[in-house]
C-alpha cells in the first residue's frame, strides 16, 4: 500500500491521542517506521498490525478520547478508514469524489473509474473493484472485490465518512457475505499469461457483499423519471450494423463471451475480411482485458460493470494493413517524438503495434448482447502510423482525431508504457538476483576447490605465481584408507566408490573445526595441511587433533557389504612452498621435502595408528597426548628417523571444551 494511507493513521492518532500514544502503537506493532512517505510502498499487513496495537493501547474509557471507536482491531480498522477520507479531503482529493455524481449511488457506480484515474498518480496502487448488484429506495447491495485481506472494516469506514462528509447522508452498513478465492480460480476468461501469473503469485481475491442502508429516494425518483421518458419515446429499430459503423472498433459479445460481430476497422486490424472469420471465437483469443483489473471476464461482471470504463488490448492478426517498408519510407516523415513504438517493441507478440481500445460495455436487452462501444487510444501521428492506422479509421464523434493532431498523451497509453517499463525493471531485478545467486554458487564451488584468500587473488586477475608463498613451519598430514580391495564387477566398484565417498565426506566435515585445509585426495589417500595458506602457531596440534578425530569417527561409519575399513595416518612438520601452479584446473599445491617426509610417515605407519616425526612431536603439548616412541624407522630417502605414535589422553576440561566447539 502507498504511504498516504498510513500517513492518515499517523496524523489522526497523533492529533487525537498524542505523540506518545503513536510511538507506543508503533512500538507494540513492531513497526520499523515512525513516519511514512506518501509515494513509498509499505507491506499490506502493516495497517491491521497497527489497528491491533491501537486496540490494546488506546481504549481507556476514562480519558474520553476515541469514544466513537469500538475498542477492537476491527473497530480501529473502521476508524482508520474514516481517517483516510478526512486526511485526503484536506489535500483536495475530495473534489473528484464530489464531481462523480449528484447522489451517493452515482458515486458508488463510478468508484472504479475514479480509481482508474488515480492510478496515473499512484501507478502501483492495488485498487479494489466494486459494483451494485441491487438498488432500491432504501439503499443498495454493494459487491466489493480486493486482493487485500483484512480491509473489510477499513472500507466500511471510508464509506461512512464519504456518505457523511460529502453527501450528507446517514449510512448503515452490514456485511451479508464474505469469502476468499484465488485469482487463478476465477480467471477462466482472462488471458493465459494473466492466469498463469496469478496462479504463480498465489493471489487472493477477497469478495464481500455489503448491504448499505440510506435514503436513496431522490436517486430512484430521478432514475424512474428517465425510464418513464424512455418508454414513452417510441423509435423504430435500427440494425446493429449501423451502430458498428458509428463505432468501427466496436465488438458484439454474447453470453458465452464469444464474438458475434465486429466493426470494420477492428476486423481489418485482426486481418479478417468479414465478421464470419471471427464469429463464434472466444473474445480472449483476440482481445486482452486490461481494465478493470483482477476480475474474471464473465457475462455477470459485464452486466454489473456497465458504468465502468473498460480497456482492451488488441491481439493482431497475421495480415498488416500497411507494409513495413512503406511505413519506413513514408516521405516527409518526421522523427518520432513518442518513445512508445521503440519501447513496446521488446515485449509481447503484438510488438510496437499494440492497440488499446477504451470504452463502455453496453448491454442491449432487446437482443441480449453486449456491445463494446470504444475508440482506440492514440497519442500522435507517429503512433497512428506505427499502429498501421489512419485518421479516417478514427471516430468522427468524440475527440479522437483532435487528440491525435494535438499530440496529447493519453493516461492509458502512458500507464501501459509505465507498466511494461516496470515489468522490464522487475525482469532486470530478477535477472540480477539470479546472477547474484549463481555467482554465490560459483564462489562456493571455487572456495571448495581453493582457499578463499587464494581464490580472491585469482578473481582479481592476479598471476598464479602471486599466490605462491613460502612457509617456514607448517604441518602436513596424509591419511590412507585401507581395506578397499580391487573389484571385478561394476557393483563391486560402485561399493568401493560409495565407501570412499562416505569416508572422505566425513573427513571433510571435520577439517574446518580444527583450522585444517584439505589439499587433495589421490586414490585412497587424503592430504591436509595446517598453517597454510593462513598461518597458525598451533598447526601441529590442529592436524594431530584432526587425525585423532578421523581414527574415532571411522569406527562409527557403516559401509555396504560389510567392508572392513581402517586408516593409517602420517604427520610431519617443516617448511613448504604453497600456491597455485598452471592455468587449467587450478589446484592449491604444496612443494618441498616436508610433503615427501609426511608421505613417508603415512606409508610406514600401521592400520589404526597415527605416525608422527620427531619434529612434529616437539611442537605438541606433551601433557595433552600420549606419545610413544617407535624407535628408529628406516624412511626411504631419509635413512633412519626417530618417530612416535600418538594417542589421545583422557581429556582435560579445556581439551573437552575445545573438542566440542
Domain assignment present for 18 = yes
Helix pair 19-28, 46-57: axis angle to 10 deg: 120
Distance (Å, whole) CA 369 – CA 362: 8
Residue 39 or 62, more confident: 39
Q: Where are the beta strands (DSSP E) in 63-219?
A: 129-136, 139-146, 172-182, 204-213
Distance (Å, whole) CA 263 – CA 261: 7
Looking at the structure, do residues 522 and 625 belong to the same domain, yes or no? yes
- For residue 391, pLDDT beyond 70: no
State pTM to two decimals. 0.50
Closest CA to 88 of 185, 186, 11: 11
Q: pLDDT tens-digit profile of 173-184?
A: 999 988 876 544
3-state secondary structure of 498: helix
Tell me the helix, strand and coil percentages in the chain, rounded to 5. 45, 20, 35
pLDDT recorded at residue 597: 92
- For residue 229, pLDDT beyond 70: no
- For residue 132, pLDDT beyond 90: no
pLDDT recorded at residue 34: 83
Enumerate the β-bridge partners of residue 567.
Answer: 481
Domain assignment present for 472 = yes
CB 130 within 8 A of CB 113: no
Looking at residue 244, which CATH number applies to its domain? Answer: 3.30.450.260
Per-residue confidence at 188, pLDDT binned at 50, 70, 90? very low
pLDDT recorded at residue 569: 93
Closest CA to 636 of 586, 606, 597: 597
Distance (Å, whole) CA 203 – CA 118: 22
Q: For residue 561, give its domain range.
A: 463-660
Looking at the structure, do residues 386 and 487 belong to the same domain, yes or no? no
Looking at the structure, do residues 243 and 150 belong to the same domain, yes or no? no
Longest dimension (CA), the chain: 125
**Angle (nearest 5°) at CA 336 between 331 and 340:** 135
Q: Indicate the range of 58-62, 488-492, 613-617 predicted with least confidence.
A: 58-62
**Angle (nearest 5°) at CA 424 between 421 and 426:** 110
Looking at the structure, do residues 51 and 106 belong to the same domain, yes or no? no
Q: Mean pLDDT over residues 252-273, rounded?
A: 88
Q: Sheet with 204-213: list strands edge to edge.
A: 129-136, 139-146, 204-213, 172-182
Which of 391, 409, 427 is the last residue in one of the domains?
A: 409
Looking at the structure, do residues 209 and 276 belong to the same domain, yes or no? no
Distance (Å, whole) CA 623 – CA 140: 91
Looking at the structure, do residues 625 and 541 belong to the same domain, yes or no? yes
CB 120 within 8 A of CB 127: no
Looking at the structure, do residues 397 and 467 belong to the same domain, yes or no? no
Looking at the structure, do residues 404 and 272 belong to the same domain, yes or no? yes
**Angle (nearest 5°) at CA 100 between 97 and 102:** 105
Domain assignment present for 430 = no
Which of 364, 386, 409 is the last residue in one of the domains?
A: 409
Looking at the structure, do residues 47 and 157 belong to the same domain, yes or no? no
Peptide bond into 533 cis (omega under 30): yes
Domain assignment present for 332 = no
Domain assignment present for 642 = yes
- For residue 409, pLDDT beyond 70: no
Enumerate the β-bridge partners of residue 357.
Answer: 312, 376
Per-residue confidence at 120, pLDDT binned at 50, 70, 90? low
The string of DSSP letters for 109-150 reads: HTHHHHHHHHHHHSTT----EEEEEEEETTEEEEEEEES-SS
- For residue 466, pLDDT beyond 90: no
- Counted domains in the chain: 4
CB 220 within 8 A of CB 103: no
Looking at the structure, do residues 178 and 311 belong to the same domain, yes or no? no
Looking at the structure, do residues 130 and 248 belong to the same domain, yes or no? no
Write the Ramachandran bin of 561: left for phi over 0, alpha for psi from -120 to 50, otherwise beta: left
- Distance between alpha carbon 115 and the CA centroid of its chain, in Å? 25
Amino acid at each position: 500500500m502507498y504511504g498516504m494511507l498510513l500517513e492518515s493513521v499517523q496524523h489522526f492518532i497523533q492529533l487525537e491521542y498524542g505523540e506518545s500514544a503513536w510511538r507506543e502503537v508503533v512500538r507494540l506493532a513492531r513497526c520499523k517506521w515512525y513516519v511514512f512517505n506518501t509515494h513509498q510502498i509499505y507491506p499490506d499487513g502493516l495497517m491491521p498490525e497497527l489497528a491491533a496495537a491501537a486496540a490494546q493501547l488506546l481504549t481507556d474509557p476514562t480519558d474520553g478520547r476515541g469514544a466513537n471507536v469500538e475498542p477492537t482491531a476491527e473497530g480501529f480498522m473502521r476508524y482508520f478508514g474514516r481517517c483516510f477520507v478526512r486526511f485526503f479531503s484536506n489535500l483536495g482529493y475530495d473534489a473528484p469524489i464530489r464531481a462523480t455524481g449528484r447522489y451517493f449511488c452515482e458515486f458508488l457506480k463510478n468508484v472504479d473509474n475514479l480509481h482508474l484515474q488515480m492510478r496515473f498518480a499512484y501507478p502501483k496502487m492495488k485498487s479494489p473493484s466494486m459494483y451494485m448488484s441491487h438498488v432500491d429506495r432504501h439503499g443498495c447491495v454493494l459487491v466489493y472485490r480486493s486482493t487485500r485481506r483484512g480491509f473489510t472494516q477499513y472500507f466500511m469506514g471510508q464509506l461512512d465518512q464519504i456518505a457523511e462528509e460529502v453527501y450528507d447522508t446517514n449510512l448503515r452498513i452490514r456485511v451479508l457475505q464474505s469469502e476468499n478465492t484465488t485469482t487463478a480460480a476465477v480467471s477462466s476468461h482472462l488471458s493465459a499469461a494473466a492466469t498463469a501469473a496469478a496462479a504463480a503469485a498465489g493471489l487472493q481475491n477477497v469478495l464481500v457483499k455489503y448491504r448499505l442502508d440510506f435514503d436513496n429516494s431522490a436517486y430512484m425518483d430521478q432514475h424512474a423519471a428517465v425510464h418513464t421518458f424512455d418508454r414513452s419515446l417510441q423509435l423504430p429499430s435500427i440494425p446493429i450494423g449501423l451502430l458498428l459503423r458509428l463505432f468501427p472498433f466496436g465488438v458484439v459479445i454474447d453470453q458465452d463471451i464469444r464474438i458475434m460481430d465486429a466493426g470494420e476497422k477492428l476486423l481489418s486490424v485482426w486481418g479478417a475480411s468479414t465478421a464470419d472469420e471471427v464469429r463464434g471465437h472466444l473474445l480472449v483469443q483476440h482481445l486482452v482485458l486490461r481494465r478493470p483489473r483482477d476480475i474474471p471476464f464473465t457475462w455477470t461482471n459485464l452486466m454489473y460493470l456497465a458504468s465502468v470504463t473498460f480497456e482492451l488490448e488488441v491481439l493482431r492478426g497475421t495480415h498488416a494493413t500497411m507494409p513495413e517498408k512503406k511505413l519506413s519510407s513514408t516521405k516527409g516523415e518526421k522523427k518520432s517524438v513518442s518513445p512508445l513504438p521503440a519501447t513496446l517493441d521488446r515485449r509481447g507478440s503484438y510488438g510496437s503495434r499494440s492497440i488499446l481500445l477504451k470504452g463502455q460495455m453496453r448491454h442491449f436487452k432487446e437482443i441480449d448482447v453486449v456491445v463494446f462501444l470504444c475508440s482506440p487510444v492514440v497519442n500522435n501521428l507517429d503512433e497512428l502510423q506505427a499502429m498501421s492506422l489512419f485518421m479516417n479509421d478514427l471516430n468522427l464523434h468524440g475527440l479522437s482525431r483532435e487528440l491525435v493532431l494535438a499530440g496529447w498523451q493519453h493516461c492509458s497509453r502512458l500507464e501501459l508504457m509505465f507498466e511494461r517499463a516496470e515489468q522490464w525493471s522487475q525482469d532486470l531485478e530478477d535477472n540480477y538476483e539470479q546472477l547474484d545467486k549463481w555467482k554465490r554458487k560459483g564462489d562456493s564451488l571455487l572456495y571448495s576447490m581453493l582457499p578463499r584468500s587464494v581464490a580472491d587473488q585469482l578473481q582479481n586477475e592476479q598471476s598464479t605465481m602471486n599466490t605462491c608463498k613460502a612457509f617456514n613451519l607448517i604441518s602436513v598430514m596424509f591419511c590412507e584408507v585401507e581395506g578397499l580391495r580391487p573389484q571385478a564387477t561394476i557393483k563391486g566398484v560402485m561399493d568401493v566408490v560409495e565407501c570412499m565417498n562416505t569416508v572422505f565426506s566425513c573427513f571433510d566435515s571435520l577439517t574446518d573445526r580444527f583450522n585444517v585445509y584439505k589439499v587433495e585426495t589421490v586414490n585412497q589417500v587424503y592430504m591436509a595441511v595446517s598453517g597454510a595458506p593462513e598461518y597458525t602457531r598451533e598447526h601441529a596440534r590442529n592436524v594431530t587433533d584432526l587425525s585423532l578425530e578421523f581414527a574415532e569417527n571411522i569406527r562409527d561409519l557403516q559401509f555396504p557389504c560389510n567392508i572392513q575399513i581402517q586408516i593409517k595416518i602420517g604427520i610431519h612438520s617443516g617448511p613448504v612452498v604453497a600456491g597455485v601452479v598452471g592455468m587449467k584446473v587450478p589446484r592449491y599445491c604444496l612443494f618441498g621435502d616436508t610433503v615427501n617426509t609426511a608421505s613417508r610417515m603415512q606409508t610406514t605407519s600401521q592400520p589404526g595408528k597415527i605416525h608422527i616425526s620427531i619434529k612434529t612431536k616437539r611442537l605438541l603439548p606433551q601433557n595433552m597426548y600420549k606419545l610413544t616412541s617407535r624407535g628408529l624407522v628406516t624412511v626411504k630417502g631419509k635413512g633412519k628417523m626417530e618417530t612416535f605414535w600418538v594417542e589421545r589422553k583422557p581429556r582435560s576440561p579445556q581439551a573437552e571444551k575445545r573438542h566440542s566447539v
